[in-house]
Amino acid sequence: MNFANGELGRLRHARWRSNMEVSLEHPAEEIKRLQRCINDLVSLLALPAMWSGSKPYDIVHTLLDSLLRLLDLDFVYVSLTNPVDAAPSETVRVPQSQEQLFRPRELCTFLNRWLGDDPQKRYLQERSHIGDEEVSLASWPLGVQREIGVIVAGSRRADFPRDTEALLLGIAANQALIGLQQGRLLTEQKRVADELDQRVGQRTAELAAANEGLRMEVAERRRAEEALKRSEAFLAEGQRLSLTGSFSWRLDTDEITFSEELYRIFEFDYDAPVMLEQIVARVHPEDIPLLSEKMDLARRNINDHDYAIRLRMPDGRVKYLRTKSYGIRDRDGRLEHVGAIQDATEHRLSEEALAKVSSELAHVARVTSLGALAASIAHEVSQPLSGIITNACTCLRMLAADPPNVDGARETVRRTIRDGNRASEVITRLRALFSKKEATIESVDLNEATREVIALSLSELQRNRVILRTELASDLPVVKGDRVQIQQVILNLLRNASEALSAVDDRPRQLLISTERDEGDRVRLTVQDAGVGFDPQAAERLFEAFYTTKNESMGMGLSVSRSIIENHHGRLWAAPNDGPGATFSFSIPRGPEGVTGARSLGTIRMPAAEDSERAMGDPC
Ligand code: ADP
C-alpha cells in the first residue's frame, strides 16, 4: 500500500496524536523516550563529521550500522543510483538475530522490486510480506528524486515507523545525502585529480620523450652542420687549390651566386652581390660576342657549355678562364644555370712558354743543321782550296823563274783546275748528302715518335685552330734509325702544314697525319693539310736549301728533312692535293741496316791535302 505525501502527513499526525495520548498517560517513559531520541539525534548529527573524507562505500556502511544500532529495526537497506568508486549499488544490513528470517540476497531482490523504477515516488510506507514474515517497510529518498539513492528500513512491528523513528530515519537520510554528495564530490574530485595527474604524468613523459628527441635532433643537426661546414671547407679548399669557382645563375631573375673562389678569380668585392653587367664589364672585349652567344643559348635552355673565355682586369692583366656549365630546373620549373669556372691563366701561360720553347727548339735544330752543314762545307772545301792556293803559288813561282818553267806552270794550273773541280764536286755532294755526324741507330716506333711530336706541337696547332686527325696504322713495324732526326722531320712537316693552314679562313683548318705499311717492307708517314698548297711546278724546288715563301724563314726545313730521310735510305716527297692543300710523305725501309755512315760526309774524304802536298813537292 503506497502513501502519497498528504496521506503520509495525515498518518503522521494521527500517530503524533496517539503518541501524545500515550505520553500524557506515562510522562516518565515519555521523557526517557525523548531523551533517547535526542541522543540518537545527536549521534546521527555527528555522522557527517565522521564521514569527512570517506568514500561512499564507507558512508553507506557506517550509516547502516548506526541505524541498526540506534533503532529497533529488522533490516535496513540502501540502494545507490549511479554509484561511483566501485561501490555496490545495493547494501543491506540485518541484525544477527534476524539473519535466519531475512536473507540479504532475497531482501535485496524483494526491496528492489518493491521500490520500483519511478523516482517520483519519494516516500513509501507499506505493510508487506517478506517470506513468511509480515513487515512494515518505509523508504526515504536520497536526493529529491532519488538522485543519490534510497534508504529502506523494515520492522515486523506494525507501528513502524513511529514518529521519532521516522524523524530519525528522515534526518539520517538527509545526513547520508549530504555525506554521499560530499563523498561523491570528493571521489569525483579525486578521480579528476587522478586523471589530471595521470594526464600530467603522461604529458610530462611525452614532453620528456619529445625533449629527448629534440635534444637528439639538435645534436644530430649540429653534427650534420659540422659535417657540412667541414665539407664546405674542403670544397672551398679544393676550389682554391684547383683555382676553380662555381656559380649559379637564375635565368628568370638574373640572380647570380658566386663561390668564394670565383669572387677571387673575378677580383670582385666579396660583400656585394654579383651583377650580370659587372661580369660583362670584366670579360675581355674580344670575347664579349662569345659570352653573349653562350648566354643566349643558356636562356634558350640549350645545355652543357664548355668554352674558354678571357677576362681583362682593371690593371690590364688578362686571365684565361675555362667554363663548363649546364641548365637545370628547380621544383617550380624555373631554369637555373650552374657551372664551374677554372682560372687557366697559369696553365695557358706555361703552354705559351712551352710553345715558345718548342718553337725555339725547332729553330735551334734548324740552325744547328745549318751550322753543321756550314762546318762540313768549310772542312771539306778547305782542303781542295788549300791545294788550289798551293798550286797557284807554285805556278807563280814557276812563271817567275828565269827562264819561266812554263810546262811546270801549265801542269800546276791543270792541278789547280782539278782541285777546283774537286771542291765544286764536294759542294755538290755536300748539298746532296750533308749530315751532321754519325747517326744514332735504334729501333724506332714511328707511331710513338709521331705521337710525341704531336704532343709537342699541340698548343701551336690549337693556337692556329688546326683540327688535327690521326690515322696511325696498328700493324706498323718498327724501323731502325735515328729517332731524333726522324722526329725532326715529322716536326718540320707538321709545322709547315700548320703554317700553310694559318692563312686559311674560309674552310676548316684540317690536318691529317697517317702512318701505314709501304711496299717493299717499308713504312710511310703522310702529312696532308688543307692549307694554301703550292704550285705543282715548284714541287721540287721546295726541297732546295734556302727556298722559302715565308718572310722570316730560312727555307732549310725541307732540305734538311730530305737529307735525313735519304740518310735513312728513304724518300721524302710532296704532292699537291686534288682539293686545297698539299701532302708531304716520306717512306723508309725497316732496316736492318738503317742509317749508315757510308753516305755521310765524314767518309767522303777528298784527297786534296795529299794532292796539294804532292803538288808542293812536284809543282805543276
Ligand atoms: P721554311 O718552312 O723555313 O720556308 P721549308 O724547307 O720548310 O722552309 O719549306 C720550304 C717552302 O716549301 C716553304 O717556304 C713553303 O713555301 C713550301 N711548303 C712547305 N710545306 C708546305 C705545305 N705544307 N704547303 C704548302 N707549301 C709548303
pLDDT band at 614 (very low <50, low <70, confident <90, very high): very low
**All three cell numbers of 166:** 521516522
Q: 169-222 pLDDT, tens per residue?
A: 888 888 888 888 887 787 778 888 888 888 888 888 888 999 999 999 999 999
Probe target for ligand 1 pocket from 542, 551, 585, with the most ligand atoms within 8 Å of CB: 542
b/e burial code for range 276-303 (CB count within 10 A of at least 16 → b):
eeebeebbbeebeeebeebbeebeeeee
pLDDT at residue number 376: 46
Q: What is the domain partition of the chain in residue ranges?
A: 6-181, 193-348, 349-432, 442-589
Please tell me the predicted confidence (pLDDT) of residue 422. 72
Question: Could you tell me the distance, in angstroms and rounded to a whole number, from the CA of residue 510 to the centre of ligand 1?
Answer: 17
pLDDT band (50, 70, 90) for residue 600 = very low
Question: CA–CA separation, 548 vs 551, rounded Å?
Answer: 8
Best probe residue, ligand 1, of 502, 548, 556, 583 (max atoms within 8 Å of C-beta): 548
pLDDT digits (tens, 9 = 90+) for 290-325: 999 999 988 887 778 899 999 999 999 999 999 999
pLDDT at residue 23 in the model? 56
Check if 6-181 and 442-589 are the same fold. no
- Which residue, by CA, sits nearest to atom 25 of ligand 1? 533
The pLDDT assigned to 569 comes to: 92
Taking the CA of residue 547 as reference, the ligand 1 atom at the shortest distance is 10
Ligand 1 atom with least separation from CA of 561: 6
pLDDT value, residue 8: 47
Q: Where are the alpha helices (DSSP H) in 243-254?
A: none
Q: Are 515 and 453 in contact (CB under 8 A)?
A: no
Identify the architecture of domain 442-589 in CATH.
2-Layer Sandwich (3.30)
**CA-closest residue to ligand 1 atom 19:** 496
Spell out which residues line ligand 1, taking CB within 6 angstroms: 492, 496-497, 500, 529, 531-534, 542, 547-550, 553-559, 582, 584
User: Domain 193-348 falls in which CATH fold?
Assistant: Beta-Lactamase (3.30.450)
Q: Does the structure show a pLDDT above 90 at 55?
A: no
- Report the DSSP beta bridge partners of residue 583: 528, 575
Ligand 1 atom with the smallest distance to the CA of 543 is 6
6-181: CATH superfamily = GAF domain (3.30.450.40)
CA dihedral (104, 105, 107, 112) positive or negative = positive
Residue 13, pLDDT > 60, answer: no
Q: What is the mean pLDDT of residues 489-502?
A: 92
Taking CA atoms, 93 is separated from 59, 103, 148, 494, in Å, by 14, 10, 19, 128
Average confidence (pLDDT) over 372-384: 59
Nearest CA to ligand 1 atom 14: 548
User: Ligand 1: distance of its center to the CA of 423 in Å?
Assistant: 30
Gap from CA of 601 to ligand 1 centroid (Å): 26
**Rounded distance from Cα 543 to ligand 1 centre (Å):** 8
Hey, what's the cell of 593? 741496316
* Band of pLDDT at residue 438, cut at 50, 70 and 90: very low
- Which whole number is the average pLDDT over 326-348? 88
Distance 547 CA to ligand 1 centre (A): 8
pLDDT computed for residue 18 by the predictor: 54
> pTM of the entire structure?
0.37
φ, ψ (nearest 5 deg) of residue 342: -110, 135
Closest residue by Cα to atom 8, ligand 1, is 555
- Give Rg (Cα) of the chain: 66
Chain Cα centroid distance, residue 74: 92
What percent of the chain is modeled with pLDDT above 70? 82
